[in-house]
Chains A and B, each alone.
Chain A
């Protein structure tokens, strides 16, 4: 017994001590900096659920795909204004306004070594329609259906591609949609070699890559990291960073520690407080970029009180736009009160609303609610959102509106939002593709306000805002082929919604990326595009 006991004890001690030995041998704090030919990014990638470009619809996935795949048409990271050629070298629109002909670049190769041909492009676009994943509407809205693919998406030679849309849309609308992730060209041969049960390689491509872009996927561990290996033969330029690691770090504090310790090159989700603390720190710098997402307050028109126009207007006057921008959101959001982000065609800079409790009180009195009322505010339970929600709670309280917070995970909030069961809701909206129609379609288009219509993708429907005039204006803008006239139409749509609509659009996101000052050329893509890793040197 005692012998056994002694042995057990000895074993326990040995096992317990053994791991500590190397720790004693290697001096702590003597870690090397990040390797010179690798780029390390600390960010949040818990939204990443698939790396198949036909399915990717999240920011993280779009960032990855932007570096793995090429699209027919693209944005130049050095000048995000005009569209440039991607896999397509040039293109033309026929007189009918519906037939686009693309001439593909010659000599391009996929990571597998297979040549990039029109056949691959046809396969990729048809595949996106056939798989019917969430982002497929970006292409399907041009009239592509599973039945007509043989006529609408065709190749006329190894480098000639023809796409036929159903209406003479504004050309910029169609072309910018092709820059979205869903327009990525995948390697037909490789993908089909991994097909299972006729899934067009969907299951395999979720966790693998088959592109022609600057990087190929090395590994993706969900909620942990993904790593990319450079494609040394990339046609635009050879990427300076041989390897890119993108690591999921949920908290700002942790990201900052990693950056300060030299354990990461870039930290992408620092809080205003952490950014401030890093300012002027030697060896570090902060770069800013105005992005597309908007922060807004939605007011469900099915609610008897929120359905009263003076109440809607009063609420728009009860938000401390300036105070929030100056304090909690400092540097990370800029005030913006219309649904098209700055830098978009037709963006509207007018900001008619400011915190004005007296005016709000008068409006509430006009609605017969001088004593105020009680209401709930749905919000995601992340600290940043809860902060803003609590500030709203406080300013609303000054006019007698008693706000109770209903916090939940993103998906919980979304579930009640799509079911039109919310009252007030603090939300964000990111454009799906860089054309004004993306936001107009959701904020200002609701052809059928009935519950049965189930237009859950449209914010206007979710908030039960019925305005046929507005919907008609949005439809008209879509078919306007003159860019200036089109922009003017969108400004009108925005003004009308700003005055009457059930949205208090408050802010546009401005991201601040903190990085070591040797890092150059990191482009986050502005409001229209995604991040570029292949332009980075350090």
Chain B
């Protein structure tokens, strides 16, 4: 299978020998174009750094993120032993930020896995089956879409009780409708295509067609959309944390850290400002990457 000229030639071949190679070629070419955009690279760098920090948190952190010292409260950045100062309970802000990276990543990962999956399922079902199923599911989608998103998430958290798991669930519950719409639109164009008809003629059942053939084809546009939405997910999670409905103390979640620190904004600006910066940088990373990907894969799609 290895063509002349090694992997690079194999990856740029204009006559791919297999479906795998075709995909690899597409991916590689995309990566080459992606590489040309410095902003996208910056985004990737930020996200890589985030992952590294999250993984290496126990070694990077200089202190136990939960260790309190009431006599060393609200120390400014650069104080001996505390690179970024301490918060209102005397905890090391740098260590808390570092440990918070993992929490942010967990939230994003969980929402990014569940909401699109649900949306994909609902959208393809509606689009493929049509009729009253379509009507019902799309009505449901409309209802959730008509809700103010943050308020719906708030309502769910209020009902389920505050906590990081419930915050993730609430965000996922409010985030799926756009994916459902997207998947439905794609499915509608696919439903009557020769390709799907042929499979149907071969006697494949509906579940198999949906899972095996329709969903994979909808996946790429959904993935682009997910990347674009990641920053929004982070901001929503931080918003819930800010309102006291996300991760519970003493968890070093960034939104909750801003919320606790805003009382000291005037004199101890760093307590609220630093976690705010962290959220901003990570959200920016996701946006830069999403933006680059969009240009690459689907220049006409734009977020609402």
- Contact stretch, chosen from B26-34, B126-134, B255-263: B255-263
A468 at the interface (CB under 8 A from B): no
Q: How far is the CA of A253 from the CA of B272 in the complex (A)?
A: 12
CA distance A391 to B161 in the complex (A): 22
Task: Determine the distance from Cα of A324 to Cα of B265 in the docked complex, in whole angstroms.
Answer: 21
> Considering residues B89, B263, B265, which has the most beta carbons from chain A within 10 angstroms of its beta carbon?
B263
| Cβ A277 vs Cβ B267 within 8 A | yes
Q: A407's contact among B73, B89, B249, by CB below 8 Å, is which?
A: B249
Chain B's closest residue to A323 (CB) is B70
Q: From known contacts A253-B266, A273-B264, infer whether A327 and B248 are also in contact, taking CB-CB under 8 Å.
A: no
B residues within 8 Å of A by Cβ?
66, 68, 70-71, 73-74, 88-89, 161-162, 244-245, 248-250, 259-260, 262-268
A500 at the interface (CB under 8 A from B): no
6 A-B pairs with least C-beta separation? A381-B244, A327-B70, A394-B68, A323-B70, A386-B249, A277-B267
Cross-chain contact of B70 among A253, A381, A391 (Cβ < 8 A):
A391
Q: Given A387-B89, A407-B162, A407-B248, are A327 and B262 neighbors across the interface (CB < 8 Å)?
A: no
Q: Are B70 and A271 in contact (CB under 8 A)?
A: no
Question: Which of these, B73, B250, B267, contacts A327 with CB under 8 Å?
Answer: B73
Partner of B266, one of A256, A381, A383, A390: A256
**In the complex, what distance in Å separates the CA atom of A278 from the CA atom of B14?**
73
- Give the most central of A274, A277, A327, A405: most B CB within 10 Å: A327
In A298-336, the 8 Å CB interface with B consists of 320, 323-324, 326-328
Asked whether any CB of chain B lies closer than 8 Å to the CB of A118, the reply is no
Given contacts A381-B244, A386-B249, A405-B249, are A277 and B266 in contact (CB under 8 A)? yes
Expressed in whole angstroms, the Cα–Cα distance for A74 and B71 within the complex equals: 44
A408 within 8 A of B: yes
The complex places the Cα of A326 from the Cα of B73 at a distance, in Å, of: 12
Residue of B nearest to A260 (CB): B266
B237: shortest Cβ distance to chain A, in Å?
Answer: 16
Contact B249 A390 (CB under 8 A): yes
How many Å lie between the Cα of A387 and that of B271 in the bound state?
14
Type the 1/0 row for A409-451, where 1 means its CB is closer than 8 Å to any CB of B.
0000000000000000000000000000000000000000000
- Is residue A257 within 8 Å, beta carbon to beta carbon, of the partner chain? yes
Chain A residues whose CB sits within 8 angstroms of the CB of B73 once the complex forms: 327
CB pairs A–B below 8 angstroms (7 shown): A327-B73, A328-B89, A386-B249, A390-B68, A390-B89, A391-B68, A407-B249
Distance between B182 CB and nearest chain A CB, rounded to angstroms: 30
Instruction: Apart from A324-B70, A390-B249, list 10 A-B contacts with CB within 8 A.
Output: A252-B263, A253-B266, A271-B263, A271-B264, A274-B266, A328-B89, A383-B260, A387-B88, A389-B249, A390-B68
Distance between A190 CB and nearest chain B CB, rounded to angstroms: 40
Q: What is the chain B residue whose CB lies nearest that of A276?
A: B267
- A349 CB contacts on chain B under 8 angstroms: none
Residues of B within 8 A of A162 (CB): none
* Shortest Cβ gap from A24 to chain B (Å): 29
Q: Given A327-B71, A391-B70, A383–B259 Cβ distance below 8 Å?
A: yes
Q: Are B266 and A257 in contact (CB under 8 A)?
A: yes
Contacts of A393 in B (CB 8 A): 250
CA distance A405 to B266 in the complex (A): 28
- Tell me if A251 counts as interface (CB < 8 A to partner B): yes
Main secondary structure of the interface of B (DSSP, over half): loop
**Which residues in window 350-387 of A have CB below 8 A to B?**
381-383, 386-387
**A252 CA to B266 CA, complexed, in Å:** 10
- Main secondary structure on A side of the interface with B: helix
Task: Determine the chain A residues whose CB is within 8 A of the CB of B264 once the complex forms.
Answer: 253, 271, 273
Q: Contact between B263 and A328 (Cβ–Cβ < 8 Å)? A: no
| A273, A326, A404, A408 — most chain B CB neighbours (10 Å) | A273
Interface contact B161-A408, CB-CB below 8 Å: yes
A420 to B260, CA, bound (A): 29
Q: Min CB distance, A311 to chain B, in Å?
A: 23
| B266 proximity list for chain A (CB < 8 A) | 253, 256-257, 274, 277
- Name which residue of chain B comes closest to A252, CB basis: B263
Contact B162 A381 (CB under 8 A): yes
A407 adjacent to B244 (CB under 8 Å): yes
In the complex formed, the residue of A with least CB distance to B74 is: A273
Report yes or no: A383 in contact with B162, Cβ–Cβ below 8 A.
Answer: no
Chain B residues positioned under 8 Å from A327 (CB to CB): 70-71, 73
A273 x B263 contact (CB < 8 A): yes
Q: Which of A36-58 contact B (CB under 8 A)?
A: none
Q: A274-B266, A277-B266, A386-B260 are in contact. Are A328 and B244 (CB under 8 A)?
A: no
In the complex, which residues of chain B have a beta carbon less than 8 angstroms from the beta carbon of A251?
Answer: 262-263
* Chain B residues with CB below 8 A from A257, complex form: 266
Distance of B228 from chain A, by nearest CB (Å) = 27
Docked CA distance A257–B262 (Å): 13
A405 to B246, CA, bound (A): 13
Min CB–CB distance B251 → chain A (angstroms): 9
Per the bound structure, the CA–CA distance linking A309 and B245 in Å amounts to 35
Query: CA–CA, A251 to B242, complex, Å?
Result: 14
Which residues of chain A from 215 to 264 have a CB within 8 Å of any chain B CB?
A: 251-253, 256-257
Q: Which residue of chain A lies nearest to B66 when distances are taken between CB atoms in the complex?
A: A394
Report the nearest B residue to A273, measured CB to CB: B264
Closest partner residue, chain A, to B262 (CB atom): A253
User: CA of A387 to CA of B208 in the docked complex: distance in angstroms?
Assistant: 54
Interface residues in A270-288 (C-beta closer than 8 Å to B): 271, 273-274, 277
Check B89–A273 contact: CB distance below 8 A. Answer: no
Q: How far is the CB of B238 from chain A (nearest CB, A)?
A: 16
Complex Cα distance, B70 from A256, in Å, reads 24
Inter-chain contacts of A253 with B (CB < 8 A): 262-266
Which residue of chain A is the closest to B265 with respect to CB atoms? A253
Find chain B residues with CB under 8 A from A277 CB. 266-267
A502 to B124 Cα, complex, angstroms? 58
Cα distance, A532 to B221, chains bound together (Å) = 65
Residues in chain B near residue A406, CB distance under 8 A: 161, 248
Kindly state the separation between the CA atoms of A271 and B162 in the bound complex, as whole angstroms. 25
Is there an interface contact between A408 and B249, defined as CB atoms closer than 8 Å?
A: no
A10 to chain B, nearest CB (A): 26
B70–A328 CB distance below 8 A: yes
A271 CB, nearest partner CB in chain B, Å: 5
Residues of B within 8 A of A394 (CB): 66, 68, 89
Cβ–Cβ contact B88 & A328, under 8 A: yes
Q: Complex Cα distance A324/B90, Å?
A: 13
Which residues does chain A contribute within 8 Å of B259, judged by CB atoms? 383
